[in-house]
């Protein structure tokens, strides 16, 4: 009797584990990452194999000529006013996979040298992350910190400090 009970429980357990097949769930949608116009300027790929000359000329015009992103004091959050500019650079990198970018994170002179190097790196990494979210490949974008070593404005007031809290984007052939 005991063996029959164990066998009956085993059969019941196996029957309870049977999977029910229902309608199959559809896959996730795919984002369209083809280059489009940004701020009225169309982003076009450069000729294949040209990571220098033509690409460098293309980034000297329109929204791509804007290469600095500015930050608030003690912050590495990219402001909304710079997002269209970053988006244009991201689309350009997607359209031109052989082009590389160097992001130089900068800080103003306030704070210790170590703190400013760390803050500059966080700023550069934030911009790199945004570009990658827009489709740029990790091997296309390098983020480095210059800290307070390369000021855009040598002054010692709030206006100068505001100019020095920035990321600069350099393309292949410029670094």
Nearest one of 173, 160, 175, 166 to 145, comparing CA atoms: 166
115 within domain boundaries: yes
Residues 67-84 have pLDDT tens digits of: 999 999 999 999 999 999
* CATH (domain of 132): 3.30.1330.60
For residues 91 and 64, give the distance between their C-alpha atoms in angstroms, rounded to a whole number.
10
100 within domain boundaries: yes
Provide the mean pLDDT of the chain: 84
Range of the domain at 73: 67-175
**Axis-axis angle for helices 113-133, 83-95 (nearest 10):** 60
18 within domain boundaries: no
13 within domain boundaries: no
119 against 42, higher pLDDT: 119
Q: In this model, does residue 39 exceed pLDDT 60? A: no
Q: Which residues pair with 141 in a beta bridge?
A: 101
* 82 Cβ contact list (under 8 Å, min separation 6): 69, 70
Residues 100-115 have pLDDT tens digits of: 999 999 999 999 999 9
pLDDT in the model for residue 13: 57
For residues 86 and 92, give the distance between their C-alpha atoms in angstroms, rounded to a whole number.
10
Within a 10 A sphere around the Cβ of 71, how many other Cβ atoms? 26
Per-residue confidence at 47, pLDDT binned at 50, 70, 90? very low
How many independent structural domains does the chain possess? 1
101 within domain boundaries: yes
166 within domain boundaries: yes
Q: In this model, does residue 48 exceed pLDDT 50? A: no
* 68 Cβ contact list (under 8 Å, min separation 6): 152, 166, 167, 168, 169
10 within domain boundaries: no
95 within domain boundaries: yes
């Amino acid at each position: 009797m005991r063996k029959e009970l164990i066998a009956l429980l085993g059969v019941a357990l196996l029957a309870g584990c049977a999977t029910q097949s229902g309608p199959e769930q559809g896959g996730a949608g795919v984002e369209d990452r083809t280059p489009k116009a940004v701020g009225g300027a169309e982003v076009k790929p450069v000729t294949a194999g040209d990571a220098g000359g033509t690409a460098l000329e293309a980034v000297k015009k329109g929204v791509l000529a804007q290469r600095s992103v500015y930050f608030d004091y003690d912050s590495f959050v990219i402001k909304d006013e710079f997002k269209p500019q970053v988006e244009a650079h991201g689309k350009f990198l997607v359209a031109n996979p052989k082009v590389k970018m160097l992001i130089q994170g900068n800080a103003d002179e306030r704070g210790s040298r170590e703190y400013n190097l760390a803050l500059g790196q966080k700023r550069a990494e934030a911009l790199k992350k945004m570009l990658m979210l827009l489709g740029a490949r990790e091997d296309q974008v390098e983020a480095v910190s210059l800290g307070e070593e390369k000021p855009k404005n040598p002054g010692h007031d709030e206006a100068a400090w505001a100019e020095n809290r920035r990321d600069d984007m350099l393309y292949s052939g410029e670094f």
